[in-house]
Structure formats: structure tokens, C-alpha cells
A and B are shown apart, each in its own frame.
Chain A
Amino acid sequence: MSNKPHVTGPGTNTGNVIRDSMMGLVPGTVSEIIALNGHVWRDSLVSPSLLEILRLRNARTVNCVFCKSVRYDVARADGLTEDRVELVADGYETSDLAPREKAAIALADAYLGFPAGMDEETAGRIAEHFSEDEIASMMVALMTYNFTSRAAVSNGGMPEDPLPITEMQVAVAGG
């Protein structure tokens, strides 16, 4: 892993963290990415706290130090405390997370796995807790979190040590 980023941002200070990142170097896609991030947080068919659990599960698997340090304001407002965030870990199945939250993590793990995909038991468990519309919504969120976190990681320069927890407003990361 590189100690410094392969590519740096455009040097702008627009106030939007995505536009001011390296993604600002491709004008034809950056606005779509910003809009997508906003839509995921504002228009998804599951709660912000469940989205945050998916995002943090992804961040943990991808090992994006930046993503792991962020907490979205809407998820906190929805009641996701740090105590509950800490449960999104290896032993989540035996934790106090709700069955629906555990099923969401199982979906994230199926998506993130090598190979990606799921067995019948996992598929049945997810279908028991979520409608097909909700599953589609979570898949869109997972893809969004995954490609943005992997963009940060693949660009190099990721800190080795954990960063302080920082609250992120949807307004500065979404359109």
C-alpha cells in the first residue's frame, strides 16, 4: 500500500468533500456521485441507522480508515449510538442488535464476500426481514458505500492508525 495518494484532489474548496477529493478531477461523473450519495441517505427505503450499519460493515471489511471514523448525522439522529456501532463487529450474531439489523449485516457480508453471493439459508433469512424493494434499496446503498470506500483505499495514502470519530452531514457529502 502506498504511503501517499496516487492522485490528489483538484485543489478546490467548494465545501463538498466529494467534489474537493480526487473525484473532482472527472467532472463528468463527480456530480452524479454527489447526487447518488444524497439520494442514498435521503431516499432509501430503510432507516438511516440501518444504512449506517451497512456502511460501517463495508468500511470495516474494506478497511477504509476514513470511512470507519465517520458517523453520518442522520444515522445518529435516528438513534444509532456508539455502543450500537461497536456491535457491528465479528460477534454481531450473538450481540444485542435486532434480528433485522443482523440480517442486514448478513446481506452486506454476502455482497462483500469472496465469492460474492449467498446460500439458501441466508437468502431466506434476508427475505424474512426485508421486502424486495428494501433489499434493492440496500443493494444500491452497499454499492455506493463500497465503491467510494474502495476508491479511497485504492488511491493509497490511507492512515494506518484509527482517526477520531467525526460527524458528517449529508449536506456536505451529498447533492
Chain B
Amino acid sequence: MTIPITSVTLDQSLSRAGPAAASFARLWTSLWAQDQLPQGLLELCRLTFARLHRDQDELAASNPLAGERPDMDVLSRLVAEDKAHDSPAFTDGEKAVLLFAEYYWTDTQSIPDEVADRVKAHFGDPGLVLLIEALGCIDGRIRTARCLRDMAASRSKMEEVAHVE
């Protein structure tokens, strides 16, 4: 079975672009290795975006960079089902980050001050900056993966037609 192109597997598809793609892959890896935000929280943001994009391939993708924490399966399921904000399983800081992510995805221009301030209250200015950087990369990779999947599907269909003809 072929593994679909997602934000997690994207670097393989982009490597043909050369040094810029390699550089983007290094940035992607470095984002997950920072300590301004707790382990696993960016992965919950990725799943939040996957849900908002209604992208089943993205939701099903397993991210080796996600970071380990014992409650990750439970939290991931709650995020995928859009139940995070009502759940006691998440800390206030985690809820603040997930709320910022939802505003970021919906309209980057309209993030209320209080939403950003809540993130800063828990994780400081560097935490908010890392979050902003990571959200942009996660969303960009999901978008790129969708475009490349659509192009691959179109190419396959054209090849099938050519084969029949």
C-alpha cells in the first residue's frame, strides 16, 4: 500500500527541488526539537489543522517527530474529535495554544490580543514565536501535500487514459 503524501512524509516528494528543499526539511526537524513548548503540543496543533482541513490522510499520518508523552493517544483523539476545549485532559496552557492555532488557521489577521496573551502567559514570548513559526510550517506542508496529491492523481488518470488509447 502506498503511503500518501502528508505533512509528515512531504520531504521525500520535495527532495527533487535540491538545496532549498533540504533546507526546509532541516527547519521542519528543528521546529520539533525546541523546548519553548512542551513535548507533543505541536503534534496536537498538526492534528488540529488536519481536522480543520478535513484531511483524513493527514489525520491518519504518524509523525515520528511528535515527541513522546504517555497521554498522547488520548489527547490526539480528543483533538481530532474537536473535544479539546471542553476536556479536563488538557492544561490551560495547552488549550491556549490550541485556541491560538484555530484562530491562526481561520484568519491570521484576526487573532485577538487576549488569545495571544494567553499563550504568552504560559510559554513566554519565545513560546509564542515558536508556535507562530511552527503553525505556518505545519499548515504550509499540509497545503503542499494536498496539492501534490491532487497533481499525482491527475497524472495517474492521464496515464490511464493514454494507456487505454
Chain A residues proximal to chain B, CB less than 8 Å: 1-2, 6-7, 22-23, 25-26, 28-29, 32-33, 35-36, 39-40, 43-45, 62-63, 107, 110-112, 115-120, 123-124, 126-127, 132-133, 135-137, 139-144, 146-148, 150-151, 153-156, 158
List chain A residues, Cβ under 8 A from B142: 116
Q: Could you count the A-B residue pairs with CB atoms below 8 Å apart for me: how many are there?
A: 173
Asked whether, in the complex, the Cβ of B130 is within 8 Å of the Cβ of A26, the reply is: yes
Asked whether, in the complex, the Cβ of A156 is within 8 Å of the Cβ of B30, the reply is: no
Q: Is the interface of A mostly helix, strand, loop or mixed?
A: helix
Q: Bound state CA distance, A1 and B54, in angstroms?
A: 26
Q: Is the interface of B mostly helix, strand, loop or mixed?
A: helix
Among A32, A132, A140, residue most surrounded by chain B Cβ atoms (within 10 Å): A140
- Contacts A127-B151, A148-B136, A154-B108: A23 and B146 contacting too (C-beta < 8 A)? no
Q: Bound state CA distance, A138 and B46, in angstroms?
A: 23
List chain A residues, Cβ under 8 A from B19: 39, 43
Chain B residues proximal to chain A, CB less than 8 Å: 13-24, 26-27, 30-31, 33-34, 36, 53-54, 104, 108-113, 116-117, 120, 125-126, 128-130, 132-133, 135-137, 139-144, 146-151, 153-155, 157-158
Asked whether, in the complex, the Cβ of B27 is within 8 Å of the Cβ of A33, the reply is: yes
Q: Bound state CA distance, A126 and B116, in angstroms?
A: 38
